Chains A and B, each alone.
Chain A
Amino acid sequence: MKYWSAFSWIVVVALGLSACGRDSGPTLRRYREIATDSSIHAGHSHGDPSSEMAQMREAASGMSDMTAPGAPAVTTANAPVSWTTPEGWIEQTGNPMRIATFLVGEEKAECTLTAFPGSVGGIEENLQRWAGQINLKVAPETLSKFARAPQTFKTEGDFPCLVYDFSTVAPDSDPSMLAAILSLEDRTLFVKLTGSRALLAEQKEAFTALCRSLRP
């Protein structure tokens, strides 16, 4: 029992130390820093403390597309691609691997634009993985057939684009996915929109428009 008494004493001391360590409220700091004239409102600030911040501002500025359909294209500094955000889509912050995220429709479905170096596996491997993400089991021969029948076109930037609509291989699957693969010289771009079947049917045109608008 005496060990337990000692242990409770230790706990009280520890909690006391913990309480002492808590912030007593925000305190004012004063310092001087070099004024970076690269305007914070500019698209690509030379005064960026981090590339993430550039992306954050891009995200915020991209949101103006919501009220200004067809507004100027958005370019992220980390990603040498530009695009035009479809009307009604809300662009969110990217990160080094995810160039951009868009919230689509009332259900705020996520459409992601990502870039990976190299070819990142084969098309079938990616399609198999994505099928798993929407709990879809596709027989290998069906998948192989699906992989060979994408919608194909060249984007504004002359990128070859393959678009896969999972509703064609599994019409009853809900949720479903629209995915595009763009093989560039040094990396592969992926555009993926996951959401309800109804939303995807409604937004397919906008998704294709986003893919078509991709350019350097």
Chain B
Amino acid sequence: MNEDTHKPSRAAAIWAFLGSAQITTYGLAFLMVLTFWGTLYQVENGLYLAKERFFDSWFFLAAGVVPFPGTQLVLAVLMLNLVVYLIRLLSRKKLTFGLLVIHLGLLLMLGGGAITHLFARESQLTLAEGESGSASASYGDWEIAVWSRDGNMHDVMAYNSNALKPGDILRFDDAGLNIRIEEYYRNARAFQSTTPLANPPLSSHDLSSLKPAALAKEPGENIAGAVITIEQLNGTATTRAILFAEDELPKTFSHDGKEFTIALRRMRDPLPFVVTLQDFRKEMHPGTGVARHFSSRVTVSSDGVERDMVISMNKPLRDRGFTLYQASYREEPGSNAQWSTFAVMHNYGRIIPYLATGLVSFGLAWHFVVMMVRRARRSGGASA
């Protein structure tokens, strides 16, 4: 460094700092702290809350007071650091190919992580033997859905309801309906009135009110509930209703000759194929209730083509970005009825970590060979 004779401008200094190894070091140190802290937090509070607080956040308050960077912020800063470093590397006169490939690989890895974080979806599909399904259900996200029936299909219109708040209006123009949110709780408890009400809200189980409950440790344990007003656009009729726990309203609404049904339910993720469960089989460890092996024989149909497949614990079904894993099963006591549950992963960035690791490995190997050759030449020259 020759700072006395050639002092860089303020902008250049900031630019250099952004691509510096200090940021990388501090970023990695923060990641280590977050991982350790988040793991300890998970023991008491469960995976979901730990993920939300430490890994899905930009900031969180340590001890309720001190702001601490969340993993998203640290990764965003590391990504910026890497991009700036790469730009600076490219602007060098003498470019080191191996280093460039290594850093491109790392950038790809971070980008893949961002794609997975932003766009990957996890859900599940439960089918009875002989039953077909074309949409999986989210573990933790809910939707307010309105649908009409078309043959053996439902045409569904739905809004993700996770961020709903009182006063929000959901427009379902095709159904001639507006739904106004009066109350919405991500985890609710429902109550019936012990005395008859003058104008009871419409609900499947004669519910009279909802109350919020603390969010459960696991998202699947939360039961969303909403008090809504349904406004029919073809008239002035309004209906007050309570939606709770996957129940359809016990009344349909007509518009343009179609009947529409309303429900608050786990958010559906439509699949690009139809899965039919043909047979479910399980083997138990002798004398225990623990499954040793279970598998599902399914038929996968899409575009008029049918394929018979077996999905088992270590043999998932992969098709068009979707992966279906054998997750669990359920049986009806006193009958032969069986259900099979598949965990459904939808991840566009699934291949990216493999590509990134390949790139980094290639870059490291290249750099290693170049350095070896250079060193050999140097030592050869010195000995000559």
| Chain A residues within CB distance 8 Å of chain B | 2-3, 5-6, 9-10, 13-15, 17-18, 21, 23, 25-36, 38, 40-41, 44, 46-53, 56-57, 59-61, 63-64, 66-67, 75, 77-78, 80, 90, 92-93, 95, 117-118, 186-187, 216
Contacts and interface: CB of A to CB of B under 8 A. Distances in A.
Contacts, number: 186
Contact of A93 (B136, B153, B159, B223): B223
Interface string B333-366: 1100101010000000000000000000000000
A29 to B, nearest CB: 5
Prevailing SS type, chain A contact patch: mixed
Contacts of B256: none
A16 to B, nearest CB: 10
B131 A46 contact: yes
B155 A30 contact: yes
Q: Which 7 A-B pairs have the closest CB atoms?
A: A49-B137, A80-B333, A46-B128, A56-B245, A33-B135, A31-B270, A26-B159
A10 B270 contact: no
Nearest to A32: B153
A93 B216 CA distance: 12
Contacts of A50: 124, 126, 137, 220, 266, 341
B75 to A, nearest CB: 10
Interface of B: 10, 13-14, 17-18, 22, 58, 72-73, 76-77, 80, 118, 124-126, 128, 131-137, 143, 149-150, 152-161, 163-164, 168, 170-172, 189-192, 194, 204-207, 220-221, 223, 244-248, 250, 263, 265-266, 268, 270, 274, 288-290, 328, 330, 332-334, 337, 339, 341
Given A26-B161, A60-B247, 10 more contacts: A15-B58, A18-B72, A40-B246, A40-B263, A48-B126, A50-B220, A57-B245, A60-B207, A63-B207, A95-B221
Nearest to A88: B194
Contacts of A13: 76, 80
Given A31-B270, A32-B156, A66 B245 contact: no
A41 B250 CA distance: 9
A92 B216 CA distance: 14
A25 B341 CA distance: 32
A35 B192 contact: no
Contacts of B118: 21
A92 B189 contact: yes
A62 to B, nearest CB: 9
